[in-house]
Amino acid sequence: MTGREILHKMKQNDIVLEMIAYAVFLEQSLRDEKVGVSSSADSGKGKSKMSKNITHGFHLVKGKSHHDMEDYVVAEFKQIDDNELGLFAIFDGHLSHIIPDYLRSHLFDTILMKEPNFWTEPENAMRRAYRITDTKILEKGGDLGKGGSTAVTAILINCQKLVVANVGDSRVVICKNGVAIQLSVDHEPSTERKDIENRGGFVLTFPGDVPRVDGQLAVARAFGDKNLKEHLSSEPDVAMEMIDDETDCIILASDGLWKVMSNQEAVDTIKNIKDARSAAKRLTEEALNRNSSDDISCVVVKF
């Protein structure tokens, strides 16, 4: 057997071992869901100083697995010189609560403080900030550990313009005249299979499960995940939306909500709830009623 054949055989064995390890992990996760571990929750709210009509609220509920809560949120209004920024985000970790917490503490600072072109080229600034942050996470791998995180960020500029960026499957939806419009893009392995394969990876679906990158990760883009990084992207999709009199609300949520609820169902669920925190709580409660077992985090901005 040649050296190349030996290396190929070793790589095949490594893939088989990883698949077996994941199968064990999945079986344990299913057991955890049956246990029905009690959930813990956190919530908060705030309002704009520039417009008394704009308020925000958030609510988080821990899922049924035995691991620590892996969802983190940002929801605040911040004054920078003469500008008011609404900073909203969902960071949904996998195999890690440290990386989403790092994103909560650092991503917006990188966007606003280290990207001077944010005010003139917000879309390009968001893309660069995402890349810079992911590079830092990978460099700090020893301190931050394994695993990774999805992210969806929304910056409301002077109550007039919304800039959205995301990697993974956490989502942001805007409601205008009662109609839900998705602003983010769900980065799923099934839809990005070609890019994954071009990077040397593969997409595998176990019986009864969703497609996964290298048989492991259920999203095609994420921060971190050092062991899979060659086959993953951290390049965000970025969108801009103007806020006008037709704007009713914005919803950011982790996939714990979107797995069991459509965009329009989410909008309809809170259309008659004026308080933003109550609206966010109502959405998480409805997701639990629909048997969502994942961590659920939700931010609602009301106009």
Q: Per-residue pLDDT tens for 282-291?
A: 999 999 999 9
CA–CA separation, 38 and 253 (whole Å):
21
- pLDDT of 78-112, one tens digit each? 999 999 999 999 999 998 789 999 999 999 999 99
CA–CA separation, 301 and 275 (whole Å):
9
- pLDDT of 159-172, one tens digit each? 999 999 999 999 99
CA–CA separation, 138 and 296 (whole Å):
26
Report the pLDDT value the prediction gives residue 163, as an integer from 0 to 100. Answer: 98
Choice between 80 and 32, residue whose per-residue pLDDT is larger? 80
How far separated are the first and last CA of the chain, in Å rounded?
68
CA–CA separation, 35 and 33 (whole Å):
5
- pLDDT of 263-285, one tens digit each? 999 999 999 999 999 999 999 99
pTM for the complete prediction? Answer: 0.85
Token pair of 25, please?
């992990």
Helix (H, G, I), strand (E, B) or coil at 87: strand
Report the pLDDT value the prediction gives residue 19, as an integer from 0 to 100. Answer: 52
CA–CA separation, 180 and 166 (whole Å):
18
User: In the chain, helix, strand, coil percent, each to 5?
Assistant: 35, 30, 30
